[in-house]
Structure 1
Amino acid sequence: MAGTRVNPTRMELTKQKKKLLSATRGHKLLKDKRDELVRQFMDLIKENMELRLKVEKGIKNANMEFAIARAGMSEQVLNTALMASKKSLNINQGVKNVMSVDIPTFSTNDEISGNDIYSYGYAFTAGDLDDAVYSLSTVFEDMLKLAEVEKSCQLMATEIEKTRRRVNALEHVIIPEAMENIKYITMKLDENERSTQIRLMKVKDMMVQQAVEERRVQDGL
């Protein structure tokens, strides 16, 4: 019960009213944040599904072409051709803030195009290998974006759950508790005020009665 947790004083009543006002404002802000997080999360989920399908299709095609290239080449020649890359690729990682959530961003300043994607000579390799390497290179940027979006989804889901718990705590615990405390304190203060008024009325009646008796005594004399 509220009465076992708070003192029924006007100072405590003011404190509880401020607490209720703050909790109500916080509840609205957190609900708005949760709703916006959910909206952006759904957009990310849609983007993630589209990217995943695109990447899986690209990797599947590249694997098929590698299988064809391997069928037309000896394993030793294939392994030698793919053993060392011709150019390194640098990936830059950044962070952007979305609704108080720091989500990663991945980008690269390097452009791999033309002959840069082939780490081997053409004398002893089949043209099917060129097609396979090219197919794999075209899906790289989508793979990088997919990694960014999937990590963003994970972080966004965590923040949504955290915000949801806070909203529920405010809505079902803190706000009802503050309202119950305010109701309890107000009731107690009203009871105290009525008791004080009754005592004052009794004191007044006693004083009036005493004055009447004194007047009678004086009149008798």
Structure 2
Amino acid sequence: MVEVQPTRMELIRLKRRIQMAKRGHALLKMKRDGLIMEFRTILEDAKAVIEEMIRKYEVAREKLALAMAVDGAIAVKSIALACHAEPKFTMKRKNIMGVVVPVIKREKVRKSVYERDYGIIGTSARLDEAVSAYEELVDAILEVAELETTLKRLIEEIERTKRRVNALEYKVIPEMEEAAKFISFKLEEMDRENIIRLKKIKSKKAKEQQ
């Protein structure tokens, strides 16, 4: 089997690929670090929003319990059946360092007493307060949902970027550098053999001329 000898052009091309891989590796590391910083920032915001949602949930539960105790279950159910409007929102997109995340543009669920689907005559302040508390809770839930979706997308992209960084750092670049070393060694070996061959030819010609 004839051994294919490497060429200097192959070595040059390989070294260019190594440089490109290293630049790509550096850019991916920057992207990974940037995404992690963005994730931490949004996570802190999410913690505050979740805490606020939990607080609003406790308030809404208390307001509902009071309305149930004083006005009765029938009055509360009547109000609940009358409030049939669903939250209105549209989904848009935002780009965070190449990661497309959803942005929920929504109308506030919270309404004034006069905008609600039930008549204010015959209802108590306790019922109105319970409805207001649950409207605020729904707004908070939608905000948490948006942040959670954003965090999920960022985690997925961080993991994907990490895998690419690790592949370049521990597999692709080392393998190409090892190949470049091997080609350099073979070329040096070929150069030595050529020098020895040329010396032999010169020596032979010198002897023939004597």
The answer, yes or no, to whether TM exceeds 0.5 is yes
Which of 20, 26, 47 in structure 1 is aligned with 2:24?
26
List per-residue Cα deviations over 1:34-79 (Å, max 9, x = no partner).
Answer: 1100000000110111100000110111011101111123323321
Letter in 2 for 1:28: A
Alignment of 1:174-185 (within 5 A): 174-185=172-183
Aligned length: 207
Q: Which stretch of the first structure deviates more once superposed, 185-194 or 62-71?
A: 62-71
Partner of 1:14: 12
Tell me the residue number matched to 1:3: none
Q: Percent identity between the aligned chains?
A: 32
Any residues of structure 2 matched to 1:89-128 within 5 Å, and which?
A: 89-109=87-107, 112-116=110-114, 118-128=116-126
Distance in 1 (CA, whole Å) between partners of 2:35 and 2:198 is 59
1:3-82 to structure 2, matched below 5 A, reads: 8-82=6-80
Unaligned runs of 5+ in 1: 1-5, 213-221
Taking only aligned residues, the RMSD between alpha carbons, in angstroms, comes to: 1.9
| TM-superposed deviation, 1:152 | 0.4
Does structure 1 retain, via aligned residues, the 8 Å contact 2:110–2:139?
Answer: no
Name the residue aligned to 2:154.
156
In the alignment, residue 196 of structure 2 is paired with which amino acid?
Answer: I
Distance 1:93 1:62, change over 3 A: same
SS at structure 2 position matched to 1:121: coil
TM-score w.r.t. the length of structure 1 is 0.86
Structure 2 residue ranges without an equivalent (≥5): none
Partner amino acid, structure 2, of 1:94: K
* Structure ID, larger Rg: 1
Q: 2:187 matched to which residue of 1?
A: 189
Taking structure 2 as the reference length, the TM-score comes to 0.90
CA contact (8 A) 1:96 1:103 kept: yes
> Structure 2: how far apart are the matches of 1:117 and 1:86?
13
- Alignment partner of 1:82: what SS? helix
